[in-house]
Amino acid sequence: MNKYFKQAIRGITHNKSRTFLTTLGIMIGIGTVVLVLSAGEGFKSYINSQVEMFGSNTLSIETVIPASTKQRNANANTSNNIQNNAGTNAVPITTLKNKDIEDIKSIPNVKNAYGAVLSQQIVSYGNISKNTFIFGANASRFDIDKGVIASGRPYTEEENRGLGQVAVLGSTVATDLFGNIDPIGKLIRVGNYNLEVIGVYEPRGGLGTTDDDQIFIPITTLQKKYLGIDYLFYGIVELYDGNKAETTALDVTDMVRRNHSITDPSKDDFSVKTQAQNLETFNTILSAVTFLLIAIALISLVVGGVGVMNIMYVVVTERIGEIGLKKALGARNKDILFEFLIEAVLLTLIGGIVGILGGALFAYAVAKIAQSFNFAWSFIVPLYGIILSLSMSMIIGVVFGVFPARNASKLNPIEALNKE
Amino acid sequence: MLIQLKNITKEYDNSSAAVTKVLRGISLDVEEGEFLAIMGPSGSGKSTLMHIIGFLDRSTAGTYLFDGENIEEFTDDELARIRNERIGFVFQSFNLLARTSVLDNVILPLTYSKMKDHVALATKALEAVGLSNRLNFLSNQISGGQKQRVAIARALVCNPKVIFADEPTGNLDSKSGTTVMSILGRLNDEGRTIILVTHDRTVAEHAHRIITIRDGSIVSDEKNANPKKSEMIEEES
């Protein structure tokens, strides 16, 4: 084996700039694979950190349109075209109530819970105004959520029950409205009411509309004064033991079904999800995207492999004399085959290693940029990604190197010698 | 008898209708330890004959016994093994690996053999041709005469029975050529069989036996009672 490597390395170092250009395609392909895998891991770490902030030992209860109702509406739509189906999914589910949340709190593994309602209102202070998401929740949200209040205080459950006109601002909202002024104690106009700012959150970072862009107020205030409703959009349940999330989710489901007088699971107007399930959904989507990107990178790898094959054919032609000499000196066809095959594999392997380094460097840059925007994004190059990349480069070397190498090994020594 | 050729023919079937007959029934016996020169003008078939005797090519018909073994029955891998272990080649254009050290060039045949101690064997072979002070020079940093001596060392390194030299002095000045011929002469004195292919009468006169080929047939086979001895001329180093 050693002797083949010696000859192969001699071949590769023979023309270094050509070696570099030949392996460029492999470098780009492998670099992309590593970047995609690494960025995927980084994104996962970010999502996990978001989940941590949200509370990892939690369940969520969301309202859903019962499967059986959907079916009935669909049937109605097909049988009667006059009925407009636009409203079918817009009909809000109004059955999830605060009582459900209070009852859930009595389940043994449940530590705490809150209900939530969302709205959008014009918020103004002085002459600055802003269209902002208003998040209404019970005071227990401040115990469950991991967000840190930088100044001031959260509202209390008493303020919640008494329809208190108080607000806790996300950091972006606070900066936008107040600039350098201390917002605590100031009155802001939210929709038709004046609310007193009692607390401001520390920045949390994140994608899209984040907690930083929201205002948090007592849920009863939002329900009664703004929306005129008595139901919840969703609820969050905190658990003592996150390992029992699955069974507790079943207990919660039973409890809410009893409250809603549901006997047939297909008529459920809510769904209980564990964080594991939420993460699973996210991971499924992430894997699909990752596979798609890797498939694109594979095309680049195939193109790179064809490049390597092309050059190996040129190299065989260039070294016809040398091949003839080696055969005259006693090299068997097998020896020549291995020399060229190992040269091709070394070429792609070099491309692979440079690609891994380059891809990791890019992934590091992505992580640094994300971190500079306050994302909890870790730089991870997964080991399986490195192993995958290295084995892919070697396989490409073998696949695309075997034909030129076979050509070389089959050369007639005299013809080969006479070409010199 | 080391080499026994009986009625060897070689034909090339070109795409055109004509079949080119290069060798027309060559019969030749070579004893171990002979110094044989094969002479003939270009196109006479002498190189083809050397390729067949040197296991680089197969004859179209006829039998070839080497050391009593019938070569026609050998596989390609077995022929490669014989080329590696029992014979050595010296070519007109040296055929050294470019940008490779003198030592590595001589090691090359050993890498295809089962022998060990490659560096020691190659160093010894280079000492035998007077180049032990050039081991780490690259093949393009030495003179033509030195290159051919490296090629002789390479032919010697596996300790073969026969050395084939195809126009070994063809690309050399007369001084270097004389040195190369004196080395070949000395190797023959040590008992090695030398088969020399040349069109140059003065080179052929170093051999003890000269056969002449014309149009694919042996036209003369003469003993050289008074072979020329060349003095080793040391090149400036």
Kindly determine whether residue A330 and residue B91, on different chains, have CB atoms separated by under 8 Å: no
Of the ranges A57-71, A90-104, A250-264, B177-191, which one carries the lowest mean pLDDT score?
Answer: A57-71
Q: Tell me which residue in B95, B99, B154 faces A420 most closely, judged by beta carbons.
A: B95
State residue B52's pLDDT score: 93
Instruction: Provide the pLDDT confidence category of residue A72 given band limits of 50, 70 and 90.
Output: low
State residue A13's pLDDT score: 83
Predicted-complex ipTM score: 0.91
Mean pLDDT of chain B: 91
Q: Give me the half-sphere count of Cα atoms (radius 13 Å) on the Cβ side of residue A149.
A: 20
Q: Tell me which residue in B57, B93, B113 faces A330 most closely, judged by beta carbons.
A: B113
The DSSP code sequence of B10-62 is EEEE-SSSPEEEEEEEEEEEE-TT-EEEEE--TTSSHHHHHHHHTTSS--SEE
Q: CB distance from A329 to chain B under 8 Å?
A: yes
- Nearest Cα of chain A lies from the Cα of B81 at a distance, in angstroms, of 6
State residue A90's pLDDT score: 55
Determine the Cα–Cα distance for residues B161 and B54; give it in Å rounded to an integer.
12
Look-up of token digits 């030749």: B28
Q: What angle do CA A167, A173, A175 make, to 5 degrees?
A: 115
Q: Which of residues 304-323 of A touch B (CB under 8 A)?
A: 321-322
| Burial classification of residue B114, based on how many CB atoms lie within 10 Å of its CB (0-12 exposed, 13-18 middle, 19 or more buried) | exposed
Q: What is the mean pLDDT of residues B14-18?
A: 71
- Nearest Cα of chain B lies from the Cα of A351 at a distance, in angstroms, of 24
Look-up of token digits 């056969």: B211
Instruction: Provide the pLDDT confidence category of residue B55 given band limits of 50, 70 and 90.
Output: very high
User: CB–CB of A253/A60 below 8 Å?
Assistant: no
Determine the Cα–Cα distance for residues A134 and A166; give it in Å rounded to an integer.
12
Structure-token pair, residue A261: 């007088």
Determine the Cα–Cα distance for residues A410 and B75; give it in Å rounded to an integer.
14
Q: CB distance from B208 to chain A under 8 Å?
A: no
Q: CB distance from B85 to chain A under 8 Å?
A: yes
Which residue type, as a one-letter code, is found at position B75? T
Q: What is the mean pLDDT of residues A113-132?
A: 92
- Tens-place pLDDT, residues B191-223: 999 999 998 899 999 999 999 999 999 999 999
Q: At what angle do helices A383-409 and A333-372 cross, to 10 degrees?
A: 150
Residues with Cβ within 8 Å of B142's Cβ and at least 6 positions away in sequence, in order, are B102, B134, B150
Determine the Cα–Cα distance for residues A414 and B11; give it in Å rounded to an integer.
15
State residue A70's pLDDT score: 57
Q: Which of residues 22-51 of B touch A (CB under 8 A)?
A: 51
| Radius of gyration of chain A from its Cα atoms, rounded to whole angstroms | 32
Q: What is the mean pLDDT of residues A254-278?
A: 87
Give the start-to-end residue ranges of the domains of chain A: 2-51+286-419, 95-268
The DSSP code sequence of A190-229 is ETTEEEEEEEEEPP---SSS-GGGEEEEEHHIIIIIII--
Q: Is the pLDDT assigned to residue A205 strictly greater than 80?
A: no
Q: CB distance from B76 to chain A under 8 Å?
A: yes
State residue A301's pLDDT score: 86
DSSP letter for B101, please: B
Determine the Cα–Cα distance for residues A159 and A153; give it in Å rounded to an integer.
12
Kindly determine whether residue B100 and residue A326, on different chains, have CB atoms separated by under 8 Å: no
**What's the predicted TM-score (pTM) here?**
0.72
Structure-token pair, residue A209: 């509309």
Instruction: Please name which of A236, A240, A280, A293 lies closest in space to residue A116, comparing C-alpha atoms.
Output: A236
Give the residue with greater pLDDT, B6 vs B230.
B6
Share of chain B above pLDDT 70, in %: 96
User: CB–CB of B207/B35 below 8 Å?
Assistant: yes
Of the ranges A80-94, A263-277, A312-326, which one carries the lowest mean pLDDT score?
Answer: A80-94
State residue A265's pLDDT score: 85
Q: Is the pLDDT assigned to residue A28 strictly greater than 60?
A: yes
Q: Is the pLDDT assigned to residue B14 strictly greater than 80?
A: no
In words, the CATH class of domain B32-57+76-223 is alpha beta
Residue A97 three-state SS: strand
B contacts of A327 (beta carbons < 8 Å): 56, 80, 83
- Tens-place pLDDT, residues B88-142: 999 998 999 988 999 999 999 999 999 989 999 999 999 999 999 999 999 999 9
State residue A80's pLDDT score: 41
Instruction: Provide the pLDDT confidence category of residue A86 given band limits of 50, 70 and 90.
Output: very low
Q: What angle do CA A328, A329, A330 make, to 5 degrees?
A: 90
Give the residue with greater pLDDT, A90 vs B18.
B18
User: CB–CB of A123/A190 below 8 Å?
Assistant: yes
- Tens-place pLDDT, residues A228-251: 999 999 999 999 888 888 889 999
Structure-token pair, residue A249: 């989710």
B contacts of A413 (beta carbons < 8 Å): 56
- Tens-place pLDDT, residues A333-381: 999 999 999 999 999 999 999 999 999 999 999 999 988 887 778 898 9
Determine the Cα–Cα distance for residues B150 and B158; give it in Å rounded to an integer.
14
State residue A398's pLDDT score: 92
Kindly determine whether residue A329 and residue B108, on different chains, have CB atoms separated by under 8 Å: yes
